[in-house]
Structure 1
């Protein structure tokens, strides 16, 4: 199994054409681990009125809004978004969602003890920093 791979892309829209570092976890143990964790997080029900599951949801919303003649503007800034996740708050939020879902329901769906799953989360930051 490989480690993370770094490659660079040119920011053609920026003056001086600086490079953007892109990190790929494809084929790495981090990729396997993140898929495992994501599969188990998908068991949890997140109630967030601003949540966008994928870009198609946003495109559909914009298409519907455009067809009604509504005028609006918005900006999305995802710079350093992943690294802005506060680890302690993330772990606390996951635990709250497990409690709201029901610990037994989570255990039955995931086939994992909650403490074992939660112990996977804090070391995530060690994989990337």
Structure 2
């Protein structure tokens, strides 16, 4: 069994699933609406498989209302990813701050150039 973070990154690795998440970030949508942009490239069962991956990773929730299957973005599903990435953001921010401080100590100020002595024409 994979850990939740691995499931989330595996789900996010596919551009189709990321596009579905982007669509859901604008609001709830049913499976048919989510499938429309992809039906030229893939079948409805393939779209459904992508949605199952997103649901298993906790990135979306699906409910059942009569014949409709509305899907919603689950922001909590991205929290583990955001927390994991935060430690690296802090690392790089601190590293770049140290580099900036170092570069300020070694930067030699350019001396203004003197006037050239020559004849005017």
TM superposition score category, shorter chain reference: under 0.3
TM-score in terms of structure 1 length: 0.24
Which has the larger Rg? 2
Q: Which has the higher contact order (CA 8 A, sep 6+)?
A: 2
